């Protein structure tokens, strides 16, 4: 890297939050024309380092050096003015939901210093079109952002950051809500930017993406810089630097055992959305089913029907052989059907609550006697889940905002595994979760599933393969493929996912 210009350099960066040492002596250089992968387990300190570099945290030890001069940003606006653009992990922090797509794409221009209260709508709309064309987007510029999906919100935040011609572009989990096709489009754009001399920091728990795109990988472990790996490197090297040797999963359930098991959930010609094909399938007690497919394949919509968020169009649902038709979320919870929602920030995390309160929120009646909270029992239950799920927090009384994004996600998963269920649906449960935590969640499910049933919904095929006994593929609203872990063929699964107009299949 001697021939490359250093765009930003950190020297001995340290940061503490109360008794927690988040970063300790991190020195790292970011070069022009390079993509640096930044990886580490949840709570390792990655997000803290990013927030220091982009001006969010102003109280820290050490130095940031730009153009051979030490800088001390007073705000994110200061960092932005020096050419540092950041897309943060929490998608809804990167968009203003009450504003239109076009206004969000041109937000930098709208809030620029010196701009008056009036602006030329036609000019800004033309500029928004120009910005979204960088990523080949074709969004309705007049549509409110609150009416579009997580994937499109993510692309808006990324497109806006790219439009600023940054010196240093920091992307924190940029593909967490993107399909493989959208992710590949992003990678191609980043490679073009790299060729123009932009320095890019790519933060991701999807290590196959890091291997695909990064020139170097910096590994943060327990607040320290544990390793810097030069390309070529492999995923195993990265994992070992992050968390040490990973244990193997136990053997999965075998296909031959299903015929002896009780049917937990049965769908009979269930139509989830008008115009979509009917779904018929059976899920059995004691199995972990992976449900995968592209964004828009119908996975989340099916989960919402089962959790009582929306009614089906037609068809039958049976749980343990009995008709099941929840009139709302309360009915679903009462009947032992739980959902970990896809949109953590809007539909799951209660920011003003403690970790304890977030874990126990749906089940407060179970911790009451005559309307009086049994806080001791609530704390003990929370501590048990914190330990079981490996949640990194000072205590169950810590505020949720004090946790990293990945640890917040584990709290949300822990919430719905706290109490006994018949069927739990986990929609994108690994967003922002590191590979060890993914392994731990999968192992926890396997160790505790008993005669219960879990459905893990994920767009990322590797995440499904990591945890599932049986994998179902949705495409165009239909079940188009089924495989068991013991005979799993990844190429066939990819074919099912990407095939145009596939035929529905009968499942086991």
Tens digits of residue pLDDT in 360-381:
998 988 898 888 888 999 999 9
Q: For a pLDDT cut of 90, what percent of the chain falls above it?
A: 50
Please list, residue by residue across 433-467, b when 16 or more beta carbons sit within 10 angstroms of its beta carbon and e when fewer do. bbbbbbbbbbebbbeebeebbbbbbbbbbbbbbbb
pLDDT the model gives residue 140:
93
pLDDT computed for residue 390 by the predictor: 86
pLDDT band at 255 (very low <50, low <70, confident <90, very high): low
Q: What pLDDT was estimated at residue 1?
A: 47
- In the chain, % helix, strand, coil (3-state, to 5) comes to 35, 25, 40
Query: Looking at the predicted structure, is the pLDDT value of residue 250 above 60?
Result: no
Decide if pLDDT at 406 tops 60.
yes
Taking all residues of the chain, what is their mean pLDDT, rounded to a whole number? 88
Q: Where are the beta strands (DSSP E) in 183-340?
A: 199-203, 216-221, 224-230, 263-271, 279-284, 288-292, 314-319, 322-323, 337-340
Residue 68, SS3 per DSSP: coil
**CB-CB contact of 263 with 284 (8 Å):** yes
What token pair was written down for 406? Answer: 């990945």
Compute the average pLDDT of residues 297-307: 94
Task: Indicate the pTM of the whole model.
Answer: 0.71
Q: What does the CA dihedral 427, 431, 435, 439 come to, rounded to 10 degrees?
A: -20
Q: How far apart are CA 469 and CA 453, in angstroms?
A: 11
Cβ atoms of 358 and 412 within 8 Å: the answer is yes
What is the Cα–Cα distance from 185 to 196, expressed in whole angstroms?
17
Tokens of 260: 């002896």
Q: Is the pLDDT of residue 300 over 50?
A: yes
Q: How confident is the model at residue 248 (pLDDT cuts 50, 70, 90)?
A: low
Confidence of residue 352 (pLDDT cuts 50, 70, 90): confident
| Domain at 6-243, CATH from 3.40.50.11540, 3.40.50.300, 3.90.650.10, 3.40.190.10 | 3.40.50.300
CATH 3.40.50.300 fits 258-336+422-508, yes or no: yes
Does residue 251 carry a pLDDT above 60? no
How many C-alpha atoms does 220 have within 13 Å on its Cβ side? 29
Domain span(s) for CATH 3.40.50.300 in the chain? 6-243, 258-336+422-508
Average confidence (pLDDT) over 317-340: 95
Q: Is 164 helix (H, G, I), strand (E, B) or coil?
A: coil
Measure the CA–CA gap between 89 and 441, rounded to whole angstroms. 20
**Residue 139 has what DSSP assignment?**
-
Mean pLDDT for the stretch of residues 330-350? 86
Q: What is the token pair recorded at 466?
A: 């990591």
**CA distances from residue 129 to 93, 111, 154, 320 in whole angstroms, order as listed:** 22, 18, 16, 52
Tokens representing 76 are: 């994110």
How far apart (Å, rounded) are the C-alpha atoms in residues 89 and 434?
13
pLDDT higher than 70, residue 114: no
379 conformational bin, left if phi > 0, alpha if psi -120 to 50, beta if neither = alpha
The mean pLDDT of 192-209, rounded to a whole number, is: 90
Assigned token pair, 296: 């828009």
Question: E strands within 159-231?
Answer: 168-172, 199-203, 216-221, 224-230
């Amino acid at each position: 890297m001697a021939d490359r210009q250093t765009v930003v350099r950190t020297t001995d960066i340290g940061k503490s939050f109360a008794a927690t040492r988040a970063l300790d002596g991190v020195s790292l250089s970011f070069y022009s024309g390079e993509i640096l992968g930044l990886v580490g387990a949840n709570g390792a300190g990655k997000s803290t380092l990013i927030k220091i570099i982009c001006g969010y945290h102003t109280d820290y030890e050490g130095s940031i050096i730009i153009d051979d001069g030490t800088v001390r940003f007073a705000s994110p606006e200061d960092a932005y003015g020096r050419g540092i653009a950041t897309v943060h992990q929490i998608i809804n922090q990167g968009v203003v939901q009450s504003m239109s797509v076009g206004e969000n794409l041109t937000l930098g221009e709208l809030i620029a210093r010196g701009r008056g209260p009036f602006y030329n709508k036609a000019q800004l709309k033309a500029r928004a079109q120009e910005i979204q064309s960088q990523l080949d987007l074709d969004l309705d510029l007049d549509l409110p952002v609150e009416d579009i999906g997580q994937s499109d919100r993510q692309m808006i935040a990324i497109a806006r950051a790219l439009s600023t011609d940054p010196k240093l572009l920091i992307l924190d989990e940029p593909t967490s809500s993107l399909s493989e096709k959208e992710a590949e489009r992003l990678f191609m754009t980043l490679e073009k930017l790299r060729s123009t001399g932009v320095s890019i920091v790519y933060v991701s728990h999807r290590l196959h993406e890091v291997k695909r795109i990064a020139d170097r990988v910096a590994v943060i472990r327990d607040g320290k810089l544990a390793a810097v790996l030069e390309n070529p490197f492999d995923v195993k090297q990265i994992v070992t630097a992050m968390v040490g040797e990973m244990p193997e999963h136990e053997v999965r359930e075998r296909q031959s055992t299903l015929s002896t098991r009780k049917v937990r959930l049965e769908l009979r010609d269930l139509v989830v959305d008008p115009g979509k094909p009917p779904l018929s399938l059976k899920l059995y007690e004691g199995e972990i089913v992976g449900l995968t497919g592209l964004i828009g394949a119908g996975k989340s919509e099916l989960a919402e029907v089962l959790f009582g968020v929306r009614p089906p169009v037609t068809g039958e649902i049976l749980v343990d052989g009995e008709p099941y038709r929840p009139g709302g979320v309360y009915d679903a919870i009462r009947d032992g059907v739980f959902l970990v929602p896809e949109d953590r920030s809007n539909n799951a995390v209660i920011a003003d609550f403690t970790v304890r309160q977030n874990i126990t929120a749906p089940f407060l009646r179970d911790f009451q006697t005559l309307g009086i909270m049994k806080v001791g029992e609530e704390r003990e239950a929370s501590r048990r889940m914190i330990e079981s799920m490996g949640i990194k927090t000072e205590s169950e009384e810590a505020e949720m905002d004090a946790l990293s994004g990945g640890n917040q996600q584990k709290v949300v998963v822990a919430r719905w595994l706290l109490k006994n269920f018949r069927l739990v649906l986990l929609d994108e449960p690994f967003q922002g979760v590191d590979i060890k935590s993914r392994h731990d969640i999968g192992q926890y499910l396997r160790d505790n599933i008993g005669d219960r049933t879990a459905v893990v919904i994920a767009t990322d095929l590797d995440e499904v393969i990591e945890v599932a006994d049986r994998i179902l593929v949705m495409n165009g609203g239909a079940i188009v493929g089924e495989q068991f872990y013991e005979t799993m063929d990844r190429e066939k699964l990819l074919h099912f996912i990407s095939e145009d107009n596939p035929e529905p299949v009968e499942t086991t």
